């Protein structure tokens, strides 16, 4: 993947460039860091992101996947700035884009993951629900709290209005977002975390970065979207001829979900880490740290080493699980099946107790959902296009005008079962197949 804008410094005012720094990124080339963003970067809270692997424990399956949230955040910062600069160059007078907007979006890109927990999304999706009933915590909301904490702790001089907009941009893809469709310069809120149609620079960076780190090819080129994009009626639109590129964005992400993010062995390792952290929670009080930024920022992937090296006898069970990881004595993947398409809408997550004769102490069940970012909906239905630069009208491409070679199903649900003890693999596999027969009348596929 070529560099995006290696030496274009036009997005930096002359007086700002003197005080900027640059780092060389293996995806985007030279990234120039502006003075305000450097004030956030040069804090212990932001530097913590170096200790959070972008893909959690994926490096135990793909050894090269050791890149961190730190470099991803720099990448999103850079792409966010380049995106606004391009709009400013071609439509700046029309849209009223100024340097204040540019700085705001760059800062949102830099800080969008500042509240992330250990081991990628596992922390909030798998661990916290097991130790806090009805937990509503999210890393986006924690990012907002962490930003306030950093500003107050390090006395960073930043405009209050800018900071409010930064927070809104980070929350733009979440259910708690209060953005309205007619918000001033609404299109700026779709650049970092796009809740409107899912096309954002966060995805652009991690798709390319993750593919490269895992040694996988990536034929999605985000430049084909960022270079010709334009704003129509307060919304970023794309040339109609690039609808395949848009689809490729979501298809590439879905492919990464199946081959990397939700790889069966990687998920077995995550299940073991979740169990270890649950067993260690009472001693280390991990869950008590999630609402206090002054404590939370100290929590990162090194927590496994903390457990492993602790002499506390109450951590013996957790330490044993981590030792099993080191010796590759993993929970054993037994089987999986794809939920029939006509059953997905009414699918109820499968639990260990649903597999007769087994409990959570014996087996683990995962319900894996893979989609094209919009659930069962066609992602193209949420995206507006334009015909050419002489056109001021935006439109959605109807399904009957889309290539028949593109899929007509946009979501799948896969149920997997793991045996926590090697001697149970055969019995668990048989019980799982019987469960499949009882539920759907067909035998589960065997993928050992």
* Residue 230, beta-bridge partner list: 237
Q: Which residues, other chains included, contact 80 with Cβ-Cβ below 8 Å and sequence gap of 6+?
A: 105, 106, 108, 109, 110, 191, 192, 201
- Catalytic entry in 139, 154, 263, 404: 139
Q: How far apart are CA 234 and CA 252, in angstroms?
A: 27
Question: At 59, is the secondary structure helix, strand, or coil?
Answer: helix
Q: How far apart, in Å, do the first and last CA atoms of the chain sit?
A: 34
Q: How far apart are CA 73 and CA 76, in angstroms?
A: 5
Contact yes or no for 278/130 (Cβ under 8 A): yes
Q: What is the DSSP code (8-state) at residue 237?
A: E
In three-state form (DSSP H/G/I as H, E/B as E, the rest C), the secondary structure along the chain is: CCCCCCCCCCCCCHHHHCCCEEEEECCCEEEEECHHHHHHHCCHHHHHHHHCECCCCHHHCCCCCCCEHHHHHHHHHHHHHHHHHHHHHHHHHHHCCCHHHHHHHHHHHHHCCCCCCCCCCHHHHHHHHHHCCCCCCCHHHHHHHHHHHHHHHHCCCCCHHHHHHHHHHHCCCCCCCCCCCCCCCHHHHHCCCCCCCCCCHHHHHHHHHHHHHCCCCCCCCCHHHHCCCEEECCEEEEEHHHHHHHHHHHHHHHHHHHHHHCCHHHHHHHHHHHHHHHHHHHHHCCHHHCCCHHHHCCCCCCHHHHHHHCCCHHHHHHHHHHHHHHCCCCCEEEEEEECCHHHHHHCCCCCHHHCCCCCCCCEEEEEEEEECCCCCCCHHHHCCEECCCCCCCCECCCHHHCCCCCCCCCEEEEEEEEECCHHHHHHHHHHHHHHHHHHHCCCCCCCC
The question of whether 139 is a catalytic residue gets the answer: yes
Please report, for residues 93, 189, 190, the alpha-carbon distance to residue 87 in angstroms, rounded to integers and kept in the order given: 10, 13, 13
Q: How far apart are CA 139 and CA 144, in angstroms?
A: 9
- The set of catalytic residues is 139
């Amino acid at each position: 993947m070529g560099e995006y804008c290696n030496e274009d410094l036009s997005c930096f005012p002359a007086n700002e460039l003197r005080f900027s720094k640059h780092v060389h990124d293996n995806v985007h080339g030279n990234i120039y860091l502006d003075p305000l963003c450097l004030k956030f970067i040069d804090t212990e809270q932001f530097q913590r992101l170096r200790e959070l692997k972008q893909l959690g424990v994926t490096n135990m399956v793909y050894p090269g996947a050791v890149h961190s949230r730190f470099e991803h955040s720099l990448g999103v910062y850079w792409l966010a700035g380049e995106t606004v600069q391009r709009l400013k160059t071609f439509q700046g007078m029309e849209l009223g884009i100024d340097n204040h907007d540019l700085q705001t979006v760059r800062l949102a890109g830099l800080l969008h993951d500042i509240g992330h927990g250990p081991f990628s999304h596992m922390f909030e999706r798998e661990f916290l629900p097991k130790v806090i009933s009805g937990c509503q915590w999210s890393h986006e909301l924690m990012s907002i709290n962490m930003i306030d904490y950093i500003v107050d702790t390090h006395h960073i001089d930043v405009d209050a209005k800018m900071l409010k907009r930064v927070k809104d941009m980070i929350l733009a893809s979440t259910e708690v977002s209060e953005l309205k469709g007619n918000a001033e310069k609404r299109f700026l809120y779709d650049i970092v975390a796009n809740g409107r149609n899912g096309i954002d620079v966060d995805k652009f960076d991690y798709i390319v970065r993750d593919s490269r780190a895992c040694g996988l090819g990536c034929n999605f080129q985000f430049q084909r979207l960022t270079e010709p994009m334009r704003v129509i009626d307060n919304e970023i639109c794309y040339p109609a001829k690039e609808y395949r590129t848009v689809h490729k964005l979501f298809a590439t992400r879905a492919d990464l979900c199946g081959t990397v993010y939700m790889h069966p062995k990687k998920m077995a390792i995550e299940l073991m880490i979740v169990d270890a952290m649950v067993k260690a929670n009472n001693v280390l009080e991990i869950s008590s740290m999630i609402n206090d930024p002054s404590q939370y920022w100290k929590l990162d992937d090194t927590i496994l080493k903390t457990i492993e090296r602790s002499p506390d006898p109450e951590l013996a069970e957790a330490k044993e699980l981590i030792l099993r990881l080191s010796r590759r004595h993993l929970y054993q993947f037994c089987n999986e099946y794809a939920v029939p398409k006509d059953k997905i809408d009414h699918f109820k997550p499968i639990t260990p107790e649903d597999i007769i004769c087994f409990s959570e102490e014996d087996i683990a069940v995962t319900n894996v959902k893979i989609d094209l970012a919009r659930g069962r909906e066609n992602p193209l239905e949420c995206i507006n296009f334009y015909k050419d630069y002489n056109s001021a009208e935006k439109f959605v491409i109807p399904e009957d005008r889309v290539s028949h070679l593109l899929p007509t199903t946009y979501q799948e649900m896969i149920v997997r079962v793991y045996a926590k003890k090697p001697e149970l693999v055969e019995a668990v596999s048989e019980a799982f197949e019987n469960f499949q027969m009882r539920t759907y009348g067909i035998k589960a596929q065997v993928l050992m």
